[in-house]
């Protein structure tokens, strides 16, 4: 075998060995194989056709400006769904788009949009003639938790709520892209929901939140979807393994027609609930249905009175 051929074979063996070393199981010293990605860096501009960029909120703290760039570039329509919305600069951009003839439609969560910090934004959009719908599930359960904006040419999707804390404090991800297939898929979901909830506007939703008054806990199942004050004698405040507290009004919760629910994240604000056993209490809120039984979810101590 010639010297040249021998050297070539040796070189090939070493090359193959080097290429496979990084994938050898149990070899902690092997070089890690890192996939190459091509995601443009954050720039507050409209994305180029066919591009995607993924933005971490605290790198530049200007996710709101990214949204506004998409809104300002929209030519025919803007659809959005957002859980929390308190950013006036984003609302102003939507109003400006409406004024220049762009169709703007939005979907928000019924509970969040009724809170004091969201109301000014809802009022601004409504005054500008932008239809804002709220979700209304037949069971009375569920929230509208989507954070998505779609225009005629791009989309923005992620964990990012349209709030100051999400922009400046929280760890959030925002993906902005122009892929035609994804953009259309997201638009299809939004238009489906906007049409399904059409007529259940923020204003109409506020009207439905008017309380029907005080009722006995045995009557709660007849008023699913209504806001009421439900009164009864508490038998037990039971804490589950997950930390959720169930306010039971019957000795057997399995057959009881109504209960109160306080999720683990909110329990601390309510203090010692066990001290309420044997006392008559009133729970105020929207009556929903879970597994065929009525319940009120409490997140604020003001919803529970003695």
C-alpha gyration radius of the chain: 27
What pLDDT is recorded for position 43?
A: 60
Q: Which two tokens stand for residue 243?
A: 């930390």
Characterize the bridge pairing of strands 52-56 and 227-233: unpaired
* Separation of alpha carbons 87 and 118, rounded Å: 9
Q: Which two tokens stand for residue 32?
A: 């890690």
* Separation of alpha carbons 288 and 223, rounded Å: 9
State the burial class of residue 96 (Cβ atoms within 10 Å of its Cβ: 0-12, 13-18, 19+). Answer: middle
Which residue from 216, 252, 254 is spatially nearest to 236, judged by alpha carbons?
252
pTM: 0.59
Whether residue 260 contacts residue 295, with contact meaning beta carbons closer than 8 Å, is answered with: yes
Domain boundaries, the chain: 52-207, 211-305
Phi, psi for 176 (deg, rounded to 5): -120, 130
Whether residue 253 contacts residue 246, with contact meaning beta carbons closer than 8 Å, is answered with: yes
**CATH 2.40.50.140 correct for 211-305:** yes
Whether residue 288 contacts residue 294, with contact meaning beta carbons closer than 8 Å, is answered with: yes
What pLDDT is recorded for position 202?
A: 64
Structurally, at CATH architecture level, domain 52-207 sits in 2-Layer Sandwich (3.30)
Q: How far is CA 11 from the centre of its chain?
A: 56
Let me know how long the chain is.
Answer: 306
Per-residue model confidence as pLDDT tens for the chain (306 residues): 444 444 444 343 333 333 333 322 334 444 445 454 444 555 677 778 888 999 999 999 999 999 999 999 999 999 999 999 999 999 999 999 999 999 999 999 887 887 777 888 988 998 899 999 988 766 667 889 999 999 999 999 999 999 999 999 999 999 999 999 999 999 999 999 999 888 776 655 444 457 789 999 999 999 987 889 999 999 999 999 989 999 999 999 889 999 999 988 889 999 999 999 999 999 998 888 888 889 998 888 989 998
- The 8-class DSSP code of residue 210 comes to S
Characterize the bridge pairing of strands 173-177 and 155-158: antiparallel
What pLDDT is recorded for position 135?
A: 84
* Separation of alpha carbons 303 and 126, rounded Å: 28
């Amino acid at each position: 075998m010639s010297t040249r051929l021998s050297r070539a074979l040796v070189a090939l063996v070493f090359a193959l060995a080097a290429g496979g070393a990084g994938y050898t199981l149990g070899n902690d010293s092997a070089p890690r194989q890192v996939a190459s990605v091509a995601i443009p860096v954050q720039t507050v501009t409209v994305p180029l056709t066919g591009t995607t960029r993924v933005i971490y909120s605290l790198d530049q703290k200007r996710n709101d400006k990214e949204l506004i760039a998409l809104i300002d570039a929209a030519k025919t329509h803007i659809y959005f769904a957002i859980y929390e919305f308190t950013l006036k600069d984003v609302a102003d951009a939507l109003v400006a788009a409406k004024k220049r003839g762009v169709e703007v439609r939005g979907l928000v969560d019924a509970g969040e949009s009724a809170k004091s910090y969201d109301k000014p934004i809802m009022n601004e959009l409504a005054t500008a003639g932008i239809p804002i719908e709220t979700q209304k599930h037949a069971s009375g359960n569920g929230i509208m938790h989507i954070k998505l904006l779609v225009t005629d040419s791009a989309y923005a999707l992620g964990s990012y709520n349209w709030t100051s804390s999400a922009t400046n404090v929280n760890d959030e991800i925002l993906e902005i892209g122009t892929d035609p297939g994804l953009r259309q898929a997201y638009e299809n979901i939004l238009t489906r929901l906007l049409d399904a909830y059409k007529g259940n506007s923020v204003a109409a939703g506020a009207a439905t939140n008017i309380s029907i008054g005080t009722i006995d806990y045995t009557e709660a199942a007849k008023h699913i979807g209504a806001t009421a004050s439900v009164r009864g004698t508490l038998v037990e405040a039971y804490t589950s393994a997950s930390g959720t507290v169930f306010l039971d009004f019957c000795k057997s919760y399995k057959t009881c027609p109504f209960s109160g629910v306080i999720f683990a994240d909110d329990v601390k604000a309510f203090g010692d609930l066990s001290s309420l056993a044997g006392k008559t209490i009133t729970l105020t809120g929207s009556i929903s249905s879970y597994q065929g039984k009525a319940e009120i979810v409490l997140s604020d101590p003001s919803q529970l009175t003695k």
